Amino acid sequence: MDRTTCCVVGGGPAGMVLGLLLARAGVDVTVLEKHGDFLRDFRGDTVHPSTLALLDDLGLAERFARLPQRRVTTVQLPIGPDRSLITVGDIGALRGKYNYIAMVPQWDLLDLLVDEAGREPSFSVRMNTEATSFLMERGRVNGVRYRTSDGRTGELRATLTVACDGRGSIARTLPELGLENFNCPMDAWWFRLPRHEGDPSGLVGGVGDRFFSALIDRGDYWQIAALIPKGTDAQRRAEGLDRFMARFTSAVPWLSDRTHALTSWDHVKLLDVRLDRLRRWHRPGLLCIGDAAHAMSPVFGIGINLAVEDAVAAARHLVGPLGEGRVRLEDVRRVQRRRWPTTAGTQALQRLAHARVIAPLLAGEPAFGNPRLAKHLTELITTSRRLNRLPAYFLAYGALRERPPEESVR
């Protein structure tokens, strides 16, 4: 039986940021990651200005800048009968050092964070180690039971356990935390197509008859999400790849010359879109953050941003109690109280987009139920510099910026 001060379950962005911040503050922290590496395709690769500013605060800006990346500064949507691309969010117009989104393979970012955290004597990471259940004693979580990829089992006791293991978190099996689900009208297909010189740049949307797609500029290729009605994956695949590509090119006609590059359904990955949150993110000895606490829709593309901000807020509120070796229920409650308004507000906007934009588009109906209203709103955003900056700022920083604890800044 081993012991640590803070056991972090899950080595994604939230878990690794939290582990690094706590270790720099001198807290003994152990991260458990069930995989042997971070090489998973079609994961969120967006590093937002808030996270770029955090890396700068931690003295990691130069190392991060050396990673292969593509900088995105605009969001464009096809507007009007001719579907011409109009910029509805210009991140490059925001003030500040980091006025862009960096598209970086998530495994590169996580490797950087692990390497930096590994320089701290109080940090350890155990790969190929999956937390399977909690150690419960007198109503308190006192660590986890785990299993390694070679079949070994063990227990890791901890003063505090933080669940950062995504929407499949073992914490979500605890009925007292109260998982609340919201309706999602869509799933998403992820795939890639070549990008040519002269293509649009940045984040680009494509709208067709009962079809919506989002394209992310990755330099020499487009990373593409095509939205389909919820639960229709098998039916749509049975209709054939050619029919899907015909729908796609009707929405994004300037990509019609390279659809032959997609030769098999094996290259199209399904994302089961969910939108949910725990009513309680905590119980004695346990805190949930990131997707473990609130699974976000891909709408706005800010799920990773929220998870990282959760980790920063958790570190700032918990460094003191963890340093003293005693974490009270009120300490973890403070983290949820801090992050709840941002989470609930963002999900409310996503639910509005689901109901008033995405569901009507996939059903062949006008967005907002009125094409004139949609056009008027778009014109307001595109013609007003102040309104144009609102979606850009929201994408860049979310609704609330978090600052790391002073003990972690170097």
Q: 86-108, pLDDT tens digit by residue?
A: 676 788 888 889 999 999 989 99
CA separation for the pair 5, 187 (Å, rounded): 39
CA separation for the pair 261, 19 (Å, rounded): 41
Kindly state the tokens that stand for 64. Answer: 């991060």
CA separation for the pair 348, 346 (Å, rounded): 5
Check residue 357 and give its pLDDT: 87
Query: 311 with 6: CB under 8 angstroms?
Result: no
CA separation for the pair 174, 169 (Å, rounded): 10
* pLDDT above 70 for 84: no
Check residue 376 and give its pLDDT: 64
CA separation for the pair 212, 228 (Å, rounded): 8
Strands 70-72 and 282-283: unpaired
Q: If you average pLDDT over residues 152-157, what whole number do you get?
A: 97
Question: Between vectors from CA 86 to CA 85 and to CA 87, what angle results, nearest 5°?
Answer: 125
Decide: residue 241, CB within 10 A, 0-12 exposed, 13-18 middle, 19+ buried: middle
Across 269-278, 340-349, 363-372, least confident range: 363-372
Query: 264 with 237: CB under 8 angstroms?
Result: no
CA separation for the pair 46, 197 (Å, rounded): 22
Where are the alpha helices (H) located in 33-90, listed in sequence order?
Answer: 49-57, 61-65
**H/E element, 65:** helix 61-65
Query: 125 with 38: CB under 8 angstroms?
Result: no
Helices 303-324 and 49-57: angle between axes, nearest 10 degrees: 30
Give per-residue pLDDT as tens, 197-217.
999 988 888 888 788 899 988
240: left (phi over 0), alpha (psi -120 to 50) or beta: left
Within 10 Å of residue 270's Cβ, how many Cβ atoms? 16
Query: 114 with 123: CB under 8 angstroms?
Result: no
Q: If you average pLDDT over residues 16-38, what whole number do you get?
A: 96
Residue 345 binned pLDDT confidence (cut-offs 50, 70, 90): very high
Beta strands in 252-359 (DSSP E): 269-271, 276-278, 282-283, 286-288
Q: If you average pLDDT over residues 25-50, what whole number do you get?
A: 87
3-class DSSP state for residue 223? Answer: strand
Give per-residue pLDDT as tens, 249-265.
988 999 999 988 999 99
Name residue, tokens 């503050």: 25
